[in-house]
Structure 1
Amino acid sequence: MLAVVVASTSAVVTVAVWSFSKTVDDNAIDITTGDTAAPVPQLESYENGFNILLVGIDNDATQSAAYGERDGTLNDVNILVHVSADHSNAVVVSIPRDLIVAHPACTDAASGTEFSAMAARPVNEAMSRGGLPCVVKTVSELTGLTIPYAGLISFDGVVQMSDAVGGVPICLNAAINDPAAGLDLPSGTSIVAGDTALAFLRSRKGVGDRSDLARISSQQIYMASLMRTVQGNGTLTSIPTLVRLANAAATNIQLSTSLADIDTMVSMALALKDIDLDRLLFVQYPGTTDLLRISRTVGPLKMRDH
């Protein structure tokens, strides 16, 4: 009987891994912008840690019409994750969507359309100027960091991923009532999943000063709780949960070709799983969102890999 269980489990895992790998490969995005002179090093060869850019888009062509429509697709969520060289700590940097930055010249790989460099425009316009590769290039030039890994997720992806882990606990000091986002949460702890999780991440009018900067705080609270959930509820040791999570990720997240590899993802997961959450720092990139006050900014804040 034990042999049957083991064999069956192994078969399920094998099929799941094959299906996951194929789907990820099919959806992968090349972020090298044609530069093949310097191949991306494997994760284990990083001596100064590694960087991943997570990009959330607001108007994916495949998403539900319930989320509304816009003229173009914007990279409204831009989160840069830096893991230290000894993998003992990590810094999560949220870049405000309206942050005024210099945009480099970009080329849309699908259409071949070329976009000239711009001196000062909101960072969330990068997606419409060449997709994920342009977002990576823009953030890389802003921060001065090499960003070899990236992932792209839509609204539907957030819903599916939160469901896959069984929801995420959120503790609020005060109730949130935001009809515009479809969100009504009491003070105290609530388990948010599916559309409620997405509404929490999108809500502006129900939190803080009702700005995008206040929404960033909600996103960081959610990410911290998600990591605690994954570390503490047996997700990394539960085959059914891992399969659900892998399927949700494969169908809802587009990874860079550098990351769309099982060995790389496993190595990265092993590097992340033991990080003490007390050594996980959430910060916001400083700067201005006001075009009229752009002359007052100090320019790009160059960060260092260490």
Structure 2
Amino acid sequence: MSDTDDRQPHTGATPLGARRRRRGLRITAWVAAGVVLAGAGGAGYLYVRLDGNIHSVDIDSALGADRPVKLGNGSMDILVLGSDSRSGANRGYGHDSGTARSDTAMIVHLAKGHRSASVVSIPRDTLISRPACAKPGGGTVAGAPQAMFNSAYEVGGPVCAVKTVESLTGLRMDHYVEVDFTGFTHLVNALGGVPLTTTKAISDTKSHLTLAAGTHTLDGDQALGLVRTRHGVADGSDLGRIQLQQSFLKALMDRISGLGLLTSPTKLFSVADTATSAITTDTGLGSVGRVMGLAQSVRNLKSGHIHMVTLPVRYAPTDRNRVQPIAAKAAMVWAALRADKPIPAAAVKGSAADKVDAGKVVGPSAGQGPPP
């Protein structure tokens, strides 16, 4: 998610970008649980309603066979994006320039057995070699050797975003999930807010967020402000904002786990209805039945078994408002995922992201149950 000045030149300690909190895989688990309850009650309408909510894109057909091979070991890689479109229902979040960018990007690697996961955040302003991509409306956009990572979504939508990630990592993306501003805020509100604790006060006029130090239950707009906040924490960079997003994602997962939704079918359907309406997926996840299959596979995944890192980067010598991957360290990250092993600490040590401590500003609150 990006704040209103995100597409202007930045100054200072390298601002970069964020969004979607595209919510975690636990959300899909609760969506599937909602379908199970609906089916158990014989309410076929509810199944059809949830199934019809999901919008999907046929990425596999668009990319064809020229892709990395599937790992085939039971692990799974999912590209999770948050787009910053301000058109339609999102107009209230700032000026619409006519294009959208992927201001939050995470590769979620589910290890074999799906009991643990690694999440790699890619800074939006990372300079990468973007491959040639088909335009959504027809034609082709040429590749670029030094393009910002989030420009891939801007010029070619989800298909180009997946193609660019696969080119960058050498990993086949098994699935794709995307969410926008409005979907994010509606989901948080459907959950009754997300409790978390701030160790320091946060004040950021760009993201319209003011929080005192202490424990809060954030509503949708406050949560969106938090994951968009850059200027109010740490060094003001996008690397700090990514850490806030990762901390919020953990709090969100804890909230979903602690709500006891299975004891309240009405609440569960409300959350499932909101979650399925919020997402765009690849066609491989484009139905409630397919989401249910993924949900069943991650039913034993706990938030404490998820390791979150940021792609190892350094500031670009020609532009301090951009970062570039540290090739050797990035290769360690992708090799670990390819081998279905934990990302070694040495892979991120010394990265510019390793020197930012914004993640210490936010943590989960004690007790994640529903508000009184």
TM-score band w.r.t. shorter chain: 0.7 to 0.9
CA distance 1:64–1:88, change in 2 (3 Å): closer
Mapped pair 1:231 → 2:251: no
Percent identity of paired positions between Structure 1 and Structure 2: 29
Aligned equivalent of 2:60 = 32
Contact (CA 8 Å) 1:100, 1:289: kept in 2 or not?
no
Tell me which amino acid in the other structure corresponds to 1:175: A
- Please give the TM-score of this superposition, normalised by the length of structure 2: 0.73
Aligned equivalent of 2:45 = 15
> Aligned with 1:47: secondary structure?
coil
CA distance 1:21–1:289, change in 2 (3 Å): farther
Aligned equivalent of 1:207 = 233
What is the distance in 1 between the residues matched to 2:101 and 2:78?
Answer: 19
> Aligned with 2:159: secondary structure?
helix
Mapped pair 1:245 → 2:271: yes
CA distance 1:237–1:146, change in 2 (3 Å): farther
Mapped pair 1:133 → 2:133: no
Which digits, 9 at most, give the CA deviation of each residue in 1:71-114, with x for residues without a partner?
221111001111100212111111111111110110023x1131
> Aligned with 1:138: secondary structure?
helix
Mapped pair 1:98 → 2:129: no
Aligned equivalent of 1:3 = none
Once the two structures are TM-superposed, the CA of residue 52 in structure 1 deviates from its matched residue by 1.1
Contact (CA 8 Å) 1:98, 1:289: kept in 2 or not?
no
Which digits, 9 at most, give the CA deviation of each residue in 1:13-43, with x for residues without a partner?
x22211111231xx2111125345599x99x
Which digits, 9 at most, give the CA deviation of each residue in 1:102-157, with x for residues without a partner?
10110023x11311111111101011221011111111111111102111111111
What is the distance in 2 between the residues matched to 1:38 and 1:178?
Answer: 44
> Aligned with 2:203: secondary structure?
strand
Provide structure 1 residue ranges, at least 5 long, that are not aligned to the other structure.
Answer: 1-5
Aligned equivalent of 2:141 = 115
What is the distance in 2 between the residues matched to 1:90 and 1:185?
Answer: 31
Mapped pair 1:76 → 2:103: yes
Which digits, 9 at most, give the CA deviation of each residue in 1:216-255, with x for residues without a partner?
1110011001111111221355422331222212322111
Tell me which amino acid in the other structure corresponds to 1:79: M
What is the distance in 2 between the residues matched to 1:184 and 1:281?
Answer: 29
Aligned equivalent of 2:284 = 258
Once the two structures are TM-superposed, the CA of residue 64 in structure 1 deviates from its matched residue by 2.8
What is the distance in 1 between the residues matched to 2:64 and 2:164?
Answer: 19
Aligned equivalent of 2:246 = 220
Once the two structures are TM-superposed, the CA of residue 296 in structure 1 deviates from its matched residue by 8.0
> Aligned with 2:59: secondary structure?
coil
Aligned equivalent of 2:210 = 184
CA distance 1:130–1:210, change in 2 (3 Å): same
Tell me which amino acid in the other structure corresponds to 1:73: A
Contact (CA 8 Å) 1:100, 1:288: kept in 2 or not?
no
Mapped pair 1:194 → 2:225: no
Which digits, 9 at most, give the CA deviation of each residue in 1:172-211, with x for residues without a partner?
1111111221111121221112111101111111111111
> Aligned with 2:52: secondary structure?
helix
Provide structure 2 residue ranges, at least 5 long, that are not aligned to the other structure.
Answer: 1-36, 341-372
Tell me which amino acid in the other structure corresponds to 1:22: G
What is the distance in 2 between the residues matched to 1:35 and 1:106?
Answer: 9
